[in-house]
Each structure stands twice: as structure tokens, then as C-alpha cells.
Amino acid sequence: MFKFLLGTLVLTAPMVMAHTLHAQLPPAVPDTSTPSPSLPQPQPSVSPQPSVAPAPQPSTAPQPATSTEPDLTLLGKVLGAFLRTNKARTESQIVMKLQGKDGDVEIYARSKTVAKTSGEFRSELTFAQPGQPPTASYTIVSNGSKVWIYRPDRRQYSQTTAAKFQAQPYSYLVGLSTIFFLSVTEANRRDINAALAVSPSFLTTLPKEQIKDLQGSMRQVDGEELYAYSYENKTENWSFNSLVNPQTGIIKQIEFTGKLDAKDGGTNFTLTEKIIDRNSQPTIANSLFKFLPPKGTKKVKSVDIDLIGR
């Protein structure tokens, strides 16, 4: 199994703060001995949703012709915009592509997630192929220590710990950007904002050796000029790109590409999150992070989440 390292954002601030902001995404690789176009069905649950307009596909940005040393002043602006407050509401379109000897598979999901740096979050997931009606939906609620997964069409829900949820391959569907946000403690967030208040360019003091694998370049995506931070881990064979608005520092898209271990068939893996909307000052009721089973629902040991969305 390989682990996702949220390269661009997590790779910089940790080096500057007194303590490490080391954030890793949970394994997104099913532990199977034979490759299969559909991922395993762990122990999640889902929430119902009305008919939804076809979800737009995240755009695949063309690779830049050249890369340069990253703009660390802009990266400071990115961190400032991303960690402005301790809460955020994010709507994302997520596309996962698997390419293996048994064929190619594309998985589409729309994620609407509210999160706080205290570790609490609520995510509404809807699976829908482009131009097609939704096929399945789920609600995932966390109070910071426990996670509930609810699938309304089956009127079933399950409960697990936050640690066990994070170890499941479907956990990243809440969004890569949200996973990073949840990994930042409130103390870390305050430290970063304090450092930015003193010097918006504090990241430029990073030793060159610590950012030698981080590069920057301009890309055009859907007619919009974006700045791309790129990181490649040649040892573990994966790469990471974060596309941001160079004027505002707002993250627009996150791309992750890697390869599953040989025991998983050596399947190529690409995950793209296109951030449709992100509100850093949402109104959040405390009850949002509490799960109360709807009347008539049944608690089960696990509620399977079919990543294909069936």
C-alpha cells in the first residue's frame, strides 16, 4: 500500500513551523490480490438525494511545457486563503480513474462537505456519471472521534471510529482538500496565520534542499490561467498537483497520480478533485455533526459503499 501525501500544501508549512504539520491521506488502495475495475466495498453508508443536475467533469489540465522554482510568496497566500477560518463548506466534483490489465474504470462522485479544524465534518456524497441521473448517495457524519455512515435508500447506518474510517479506501471521497483541512489542528492554523501576518513571504526562507522536488508553472484550464504546484515522489512513484488562482491564492483543483502495488495488479491510479465552491465562513449549527438515526432505520455492522455508485 502506498500513502497519499498532500504534497504541495503539507510539504511547506510544516518545515517552517516549530512543530510538524505532517498530513497524510488514508490509503486509497484496496487490499486485494487480483486487480478489478471496481474497488472493494468496505463498511460505509449513504444518504438519499433528489434528482441532481449532471455533475461536470473535472478538467484535465495539459502538462506544462516547463517547470520552475515554486512561487513561495503565492503559496503563502494559498495557505492564508485556505486556513483563514476554522471551518469550511466545500462542494467538489471527484473523478477517479483506474487503468489496469482488466480494463479502465472511471468513478464520478459529487461531494458536499462541511468541516471544522476540530475534526468534525459532515459529507453528502452522490454518485452520478456525466449526463446521467444519480445512482447512489451517502451521508457521512463525524463528531471528531466517531463516524456514522448512512445509506437512506436501504435505511441502514453503521458506526465506526474516526481512525478506522480514515483507513478505508472510500474515506478520500470527502475530498482531498477537506482531508488536508481536517488534518490541520487549530493550533497549527493559528500559527500559520500568525506567521503570515508578520511576513506574507515567510515561506521564502525555506532551505532550497527542502523544496527541491516542488516545482511551479502556469497552466491554462478551461480558459483560465492557473498556477500549478507540482510534487513528484519518484521513490514511491506518485505525483501531486495543486492548481490555484494566482491572483487570489484560492485552490481550484487537486490532482493525484500514482500506481497501486504489484500485489494490487500494478494498476495506474488518478484522482482529481475540482473544487466547485468553497465557503470559508459558513453558518454551521452544532447539530450538524451529530447523527440521529431516522425513524425506521436499522443499525448494521457495516454499510457497503460501492465506489462505482450502485
Question: What pLDDT was estimated at residue 43?
Answer: 36
Average pLDDT over residues 139-168: 93
Question: What pLDDT was estimated at residue 98?
Answer: 82
Specify whether the CB–CB gap between 104 and 130 falls below 8 A. no
Summary mean pLDDT of the chain: 78
Q: Give percent of the chain above pLDDT 90.
A: 48
Considering the entire predicted model, what is its pTM? 0.75
Please state, as a whole number, how many other Cβ atoms lie within 10 Å of the Cβ of residue 265: 18
Q: Considering just the CA atoms, what is the radius of gyration of the chain in Å? A: 19
Closest CA to 73 of 171, 191, 178, 199: 199
Task: Answer whether residue 13 shows pLDDT above 50.
Answer: no
pLDDT digits (tens, 9 = 90+) for 268-285: 888 899 999 999 999 999
Q: Residue 35's pLDDT band (boundaries 50, 70, 90)?
A: very low
Q: Which amino acid is at 159?
A: Q
What is the domain partition of the chain in residue ranges? 4-32+42-60+71-299
Closest CA to 29 of 261, 271, 307: 261
Q: What are the distances in angstroms from CA 56 to CA 12, 29, 108, 228, 278?
A: 31, 25, 10, 21, 16
Question: What pLDDT was estimated at residue 129?
Answer: 86
Question: What pLDDT was estimated at residue 82?
Answer: 96
CA geometry: angle 95, 114, 229, nearest 5 deg: 50
The C-alpha cell at 274 is 475540482
Beta strands in the chain (DSSP E): 4-5, 24-25, 87-100, 103-116, 121-127, 136-142, 146-151, 156-161, 214-221, 224-233, 238-244, 251-259, 268-279, 298-299
Specify whether the CB–CB gap between 157 and 293 falls below 8 A. yes
Task: Answer whether residue 288 shows pLDDT above 80.
Answer: yes
Q: Which amino acid is at 137?
A: S
Residues in Cβ contact with 248 at an 8 Å cutoff, skipping those fewer than 6 apart: 77, 81
Task: Answer whether residue 195 shows pLDDT above 50.
Answer: yes
Please state, as a whole number, how many other Cβ atoms lie within 10 Å of the Cβ of residue 296: 6
Note the CATH number of domain 4-32+42-60+71-299.
2.50.20.10
Question: What pLDDT was estimated at residue 99?
Answer: 82
Average pLDDT over residues 180-201: 92
